[in-house]
Structure 1
């Protein structure tokens, strides 16, 4: 998803589901600039969230210009920790 907003505080809330409509837990969702670097939250951490057992996430961020969501499935999350 790519959206354009100018200097606004946003809250993104959604549910990640598979093709059958089942919620997917442990998916990392990050708000990123066009170059792939994450936007920061109010304390300077990457604006990201991990879906809960119901596939839900919530992210708050201040965005300028365009942004997109980077979604990393659970299997890839596991590989990155190794």
Structure 2
């Protein structure tokens, strides 16, 4: 999950760039088998502010071949210090 700016043209290709600030973020991943069966894979809440956050790791042998159909992600991005980025399109 990341924060990016509007696209620009770089070397003839439309690309997004990272924002020039960092904010609190957290990320959790679950295997969802059903309403009463949810397995927590990880919860990541870094102490440092971020512009991009991820939780992958090839080191856990239980998740070498995960079933993506079971996966559910929950993430938050705290933009309360940057309320000026909110706006309405006209």
Q: Normalising by the residue count of structure 2, what TM-score does the alignment of the two structures yield?
A: 0.33
Greater Cα radius of gyration, structure 1 or 2: 2
Q: Normalising by the residue count of structure 1, what TM-score does the alignment of the two structures yield?
A: 0.35
Structure with bigger RCO (C-alpha 8 Å, 6+ apart): 1
